[in-house]
Structure 1
């Protein structure tokens, strides 16, 4: 009899799905809805208040939540204050201390008003605060509350002239100023803005950057590097600047002008402050008039060289690409979402005009 050997039966196993990704505490916090994030950060803010001698039951309301969380504090029976809770991993404590030293020097040495940092009970301006609902400890700074309103947006020419004058006062101050210690702040040069390790991420990851747009914008990079480097790094052209002095960061009350929000201040070309003033409106048809108004205000206080003025378009283009990077790295914020539609296409159009002049 022929017998046929049977193969042993095999047991088929169902494929095991890969384990779900485990989020770090920081990633889990970022994944929360913004309202939930703010509820937790507010608890951290209330925990910080006693360090400055303020009751944790003070009235508190949100002013801004973007890079940092900024809160208006109204303690019972005391003056209003502003508490800034710095985002983690951006500015080390030494960098914040440098920012505050310049802010105090501006307030002391110029007619400009700044929000003055308020020392905590231990005599330090910067407090390192932890709360169990927030994954990382945060650096906090309390400031005086500066009264005033933003310049009238219905008269942009006057606003840009004022911006130019205020910016020139800051530049004149920093050229002559001798800080008490080496200033530790970001450097806003070509690599820091547009390089692979840029402070605000890579512009190639910006919202709406398609492969054709990326290829087109790549053509601008060598021109920007060459022309910005040609402006040079001499002390009268490159130094500590505000780096975000837009109309939103001026407050006017009667004859008093205040400059606020020095969180981005760092080392860059002085003319870059003009490009920062034009943030998000680089393609506006009235841009030449805004630039002329800014230069007119600046000239009341300080002179720019012909070489700097000749490269205004270069620094406007650099700032636009930096903002494209910012939109990509902040895509979950309401501010970035509000400006993202069409921004990449507008940047490509701006590059067209730039290359037609300088390529």
Structure 2
């Protein structure tokens, strides 16, 4: 669909909500199409056109219910807005659409670009606290009937059909790389299976990468709950850290994130290196159906290199 058609769909969708819209503009073209709506009174909202076929209606409704609970609990996340019909999710021309409050701020950074933020350790300490608050609020919340989200458990990470694809079957792996990933998978299944009873598990954001962490006057905000799920809490920490490993002060950033988290919630980070590897491996599976997109081959090579590096390091540390 051309941009003009997407914009027309956004205009029609916006009419389903109790807003007097003055301007609509495309804000992000990622997994979902995100439009910024500006009302005649100067308020800003985010209209999301959800990627077709990625989530069921029940999963989308569950995502919105959780975001609403987190927002009401005081966490800085987008808050869903009910439509004129009282629904959080609307169908417009075969597309699923939702409306959220707009969060101001700038991303923590961009993947592949050195971090350019002040008070680096302070920011990561605050991010750790934000993730801890998210987990605390989630554990105190009772999901509504029918609540359903994916599972980043043992099967979702390492089973025969992981959530993001069979990373060990990536078509561009060299033979030695494939053997390394197969060995890492087998060892991780064995290790994770033994540690699971002691690991904290529950609702997680699952995608707190740089682009999804907004900073507004020192306040940490989380956006893009598209991949929120049930999973290991260490998975959230690993996701926040993985793409910062090239930073010269990475050890200090990792320590600050964990310190911030522990200031509000207990967590055993003894297996953090395992989860950094597991998080890296998920991207190897994720990129396979996106290889034909612009830059897909280059991203794939980076993901494979990172996954192999972390797999070799973790296997060597056992």
Range of TM-score over shorter length: 0.7 to 0.9
CA apart distance, 1:207: 7.1
Q: Which whole-Å deviations, capped at 9, do the CAs of 1:46-102 have from their partners, x for residues lacking one?
A: 2211111456x8532222222111111224445221111111111111111111111
8 Å Cα contact 2:80-2:101 kept in structure 1: yes
* Partner in structure 1 of residue 16 of structure 2: 51
Matched with 2:220 is: 257
Alignment match, 2:112? none
CA gap of 1:103–1:279, structure 2 versus 1, over 3 A, is: same
Aligned residues: 311
Return the alpha-carbon distance in structure 2 between the equivalents of residues 200 and 243 of structure 1: 12
Compute the TM-score of the two structures, normalised by the length of structure 1.
Answer: 0.78
Compare CA radii of gyration and give the structure with the larger one: 1
Alignment of 1:238 onto 2:191: no
CA contact (8 A) 2:126 2:220 kept: no
In 1, are the aligned partners of 2:80 and 2:88 still within 8 Å (CA)?
yes
Shift of 1:334: 4.4
Q: Report the counterpart of residue 141 of structure 1 in structure 2.
A: 98
Unpaired stretches in structure 1, ≥5 consecutive residues: 1-35, 131-136
Aligned partner of 1:290 among 225, 243, 253: 253
How many angstroms apart in 1 are the aligned matches of 2:171 and 2:44? 38
Is residue 28 of structure 2 the alignment partner of residue 64 of structure 1?
A: yes
For residues 295 and 255 of structure 2, the distance between their equivalents in structure 1, rounded to whole angstroms, comes to 28
Asked if the contact 2:81–2:99 (Cα under 8 Å) also holds between the matched residues in 1, the reply is yes
Q: CA deviation at 1:311?
A: 0.7
Query: Is the deviation greater in 58-67 or in 94-103?
Result: 58-67
**Partner residue of 1:133?**
none
- Matches of 2:157 and 2:4, distance apart in 1: 33
What residue in structure 2 maps to residue 179 of structure 1?
143
Match of 1:88 in 2: 52
Is the deviation greater in 332-341 or in 293-302?
332-341
Once the two structures are superposed, the pairs formed by residues 130-279 of structure 1 within 5 Å of their partners are 130=93, 137-151=94-108, 153-155=115-117, 156-204=120-168, 206=170, 208-233=172-197, 237-254=200-217, 256-279=219-242
Q: CA deviation at 1:290?
A: 2.6
2:77 to 114, 122, 129: 114
SS at match of 1:140: strand
SS, match of residue 151 in structure 2: coil
Contact 1:73 1:82 in 2 (8 A): yes
Contact 2:181–2:311 (CA under 8 A) maintained in structure 1: yes
1:233 and 1:269 in contact (8 A); partners too: no
Provide the aligned C-alpha RMSD in A.
2.5
* Partner Cα separation in structure 1 for residue 27 and residue 294 of structure 2: 14
